[in-house]
Structure 1
Amino acid sequence: MKNVKIVIGANFGDEGKGLLTDYFCSAFPAREKVLNVRFNGGAQAGHTVVKSDGRRHVFSHFGSGSFNENNLTYLSRYFILNPMLFVKEYKVLESKGVVPRVYIHKDCLVTFPCDVMINQMVEAHRDKNRHGSCGVGIYETIMRTSNHQKTTIGYIKENFDQLANMIANTIEVYVPKRLHELNTELTDSEWELIRNENITENYIDDLLFMFQHTEIVENNIINEYDNIVFEGAQGLLLDADNKEYYPHLTPSHTGIKNAIQILSSVDACDLSICYVTRSYFTRHGAGLFKTECDSTDIKPEGLRDKTNQTNAYQGNFRYGYFDVTTFKRSVEKDLAFLNRIVTVELAVTHLDETGGHLLVGNREKLEVADLLKIMNLNTAYTSNGEKAEDIQCSDLCMG
């Protein structure tokens, strides 16, 4: 029987999904292959993994289990490809001793350079009214492929000799219409950048590199592996359907919905879902944040996140108290997508920063065991550091 784990971020992202994915992938015997499935979002993800030998990497386009030699990445049809960032990250991983092995579903959407530039330029023109985008063109890719031309990786490979014309047509026909919809007028220098032919040539080279270093497949690849770890991106509160936080959302399903759909061809498996949270909440980007506070309220000397730095599109990394009510409601809502028997687990990270407790208010603390009782669950993984070796399974774990 297949062993399947689904890792879901339960908040606004940055919960520790990379850490838990690496932990679960490394738990399988080295002789057994592990399929690490990315099932939503795209290269805007930033999942940090730190190994005991000192290697550190923020995974965006590859599975966070990639430091393990038995790991293979599967970019499912729900993943949005960015060839420019794929090549950059691939080469960084090579420098760290990793040669990624990657399957790509033929129906993955592919980002064009103009998608990224529209995203970044429009955000810049919004000034103080920015949506908090990561600036890598995820939403613009979806809009373009829905309203102009659906460029999947399979279609592009079959029509590779027409790619330059596809991009040129998009720039001259679609981009002006899209900018009109966004009520944004670009400067001459911005238009010059969008029409830059060198960017298009480099992009085509990057796509060719991607073709040469991956294998394009159908979803039946899922049936070829017995050990599968699904790695979610972003968090439940950023789900495209979570209208309470509109418009500051991500254009994908961040919970189990996509993963369950991918597993529809698998009749039987030992399935468990792990919902990950920090011992406090965080948010990188604009939008509603009910429990926001200063980082010094979480830890007297303040906190500094190594991965999430202040940037032009998302702004400052924000901190807040753990919100029990929101957490419980989000997890329960996500579990409504289940159509098979599963084990539900929790993982709480960054406990070393809050004295081993979840921080639910100024000087108000909650034990992990008490959160399990509130959620009516038995299993919790707790982390007091940034490596897989720092994770422990709670005494309440069963089996």
Structure 2
Amino acid sequence: MFAAFVDLGFGDAGKGKFVDAWVRRRGAHTVVRFNGGAQAGHNVVLPDGRHHTFSQWGAASFVPGVATVLAAPVVVHPGALLQEAQALIARGLTDPWQRLFIDGRCRVTTPFLQAAGRLRERARGAAAHGSCGVGFGETVALSLQQPALGLHWADLAQPARALARLRDQQAWLREAWPEPPDAAAQADWQALHEVALAERWLVQAHEAWRLAPARSADFMASQLARPGHVAFEGAQGVLLDEDHGFHPHTTWSRVTPTAAVDVLRDLGLTPRLHRYGIVRSYLTRHGTGPLPTVDPALDSLPEPHNPEDGWQGPFRRGHPDALLLRHAARACGALDGLLVGHLDAVPVGLRWCHAYRDAPALPQLAPEALTAWLQAAQPLYEPGLLSRDALLARLHEASGAALAGWSDGPTHRDVRWLDPGE
């Protein structure tokens, strides 16, 4: 069985926990990361208390023998790979590198692209789009605008050629940013002028490549075609999707299961892909962008693994929203199941948004016009507070998907499955 797991919100719905639980339940052998990059943060807590925020390894890596595949759309951050491997080893994994397979066509982010992305976000000022500051969007943009300047994972096999391209990349970005947008951006601007940075970074990047050398498309296809089950772990959320999100507060990535289907087709594989949508009992959003049902009264809900410092900005919470859920579910096509997390939050006092004032559904508007409309939308709520059963019924109705499982705790043991086990 091949199954894709996507977040039907703005991210942080609990993909890590559900992927970990599904892999354990099915005995899956591989987790495929099919979009995004190192900005992903998928939390897994084990019953023994160990915790890790998975960024580039698959969220089921605590399960012995489970492999991670980084498919070609993924943007690889070599330095973050080295740091994450150290963290995993410290948490008891003895072989993280042996279980990591990276498609040689994966794009690679560099310190120059990371700096340029942060410069661009600072330059936007009050009109900031939202960023994790790790260069993902800038790397994708470069691959579209100046493909000859981009690096791919396979390029790291030839350090001399990679270094020449790095220097060209640095020079091009330096011309694009003749001065820093503000005083706070000085360090990033200086990175575009530091002569020795390319050589230092390449030593680190080549070490990561040595530990996880580039793999061919044929290798990837054979890994996924092994008998058994495969999980496709989506990054971010459908409401941030580059095609279906609310511009400009979107990612440079396709988040829906269609992106996973495209990875399979690229590898010459055509299995049936089961599609699971994941939601929290309430909405969340990290950073800027519309969240019509935001309610500071929900800030009492704990969030131990999503800090508010750094580039992403404040972590906001909102009541469940039928309109946004319908929008996300339609973008995914027919879902095979709905997975609901954080049901322990229901007693806090959640309400069901069934419409916005004068609008029972999202209007048909151009992308940025729709974003502006959402920023001003006023939610209308059903009377009273939601019980657990009422919430699950509303989520099923709005998504059009049968409830496949739910959880009210942080570990894989807290997941209750309702769909058949075979």
- TM band (smaller chain): 0.7 to 0.9
Structure 1, unpaired ranges of 5+ = 337-342
Alignment RMSD, CA only? 2.5
Are 2:244 and 1:252 aligned? no
1:240 counterpart letter in structure 2: E
* Cα distance change on mapping 1:327 and 1:357 into 2, 3 Å: farther
Pairs aligned (count): 378
1:85 counterpart letter in structure 2: A
Task: Provide TM-score, normalisation by structure 1.
Answer: 0.87
- Give the fraction of aligned pairs with identical amino acids, expressed as a percent: 27
1:275 counterpart letter in structure 2: G
* Cα distance change on mapping 1:185 and 1:316 into 2, 3 Å: closer
After the TM superposition, which residues 280-359 of structure 1 pair with which residues of structure 2 at under 5 Å, given as runs?
280-294=282-296, 296=297, 298=298, 302-335=300-333, 344-355=336-347, 359=351
After the TM superposition, which residues 209-248 of structure 1 pair with which residues of structure 2 at under 5 Å, given as runs?
209-220=207-218, 221-224=220-223, 225=226, 226-242=228-244, 245-248=246-249
Residue 373 (structure 2) aligns with: none
Pairwise CA distance, 1:48: 0.2
Pairwise CA distance, 1:115: 0.7
Is residue 219–residue 262 contact of structure 1 (8 Å, CA) maintained in 2? no
Q: Deviations over 1:322-374 (max 9, x none)?
A: 111221222122217xxxxxx61001101111139964257432331443245
Residue 266 (structure 1) aligns with: 269
Pairwise CA distance, 1:246: 0.6
* Cα distance change on mapping 1:95 and 1:290 into 2, 3 Å: same
Q: Deviations over 1:36-62 (max 9, x none)?
A: 000001000100000112110001111
Is residue 150–residue 169 contact of structure 2 (8 Å, CA) maintained in 1? no
After the TM superposition, which residues 151-166 of structure 1 pair with which residues of structure 2 at under 5 Å, given as runs?
151-157=151-157, 159-166=158-165
Once the two structures are overlaid, the 10-residue window that deviates more, 4-13 or 194-203, is 194-203
Q: 2:78 aligns with which of 83, 94, 107?
A: 83
Q: Deviations over 1:108-140 (max 9, x none)?
A: 000011111112233234333322101001111
Pairwise CA distance, 1:312: 3.6
Question: What is the distance in 2 between the residues matched to 1:215 and 1:67?
Answer: 22
Q: 1:391 aligns with which of 403, 407, 415?
A: 415
SS at match of 1:122: helix
Question: What is the distance in 2 between the residues matched to 1:111 and 1:146?
Answer: 14
Is residue 357–residue 368 contact of structure 1 (8 Å, CA) maintained in 2? no
Question: What is the distance in 1 between the residues matched to 2:395 and 2:169?
Answer: 50
Task: Provide TM-score, normalisation by structure 2.
Answer: 0.83
* Cα distance change on mapping 1:398 and 1:315 into 2, 3 Å: same
Is residue 356–residue 384 contact of structure 1 (8 Å, CA) maintained in 2? no
* Cα distance change on mapping 1:375 and 1:140 into 2, 3 Å: closer
Q: Deviations over 1:239-278 (max 9, x none)?
A: 00125x1101000001112101122222444x32110000
Q: 1:34 aligns with which of 29, 35, 39?
A: 29
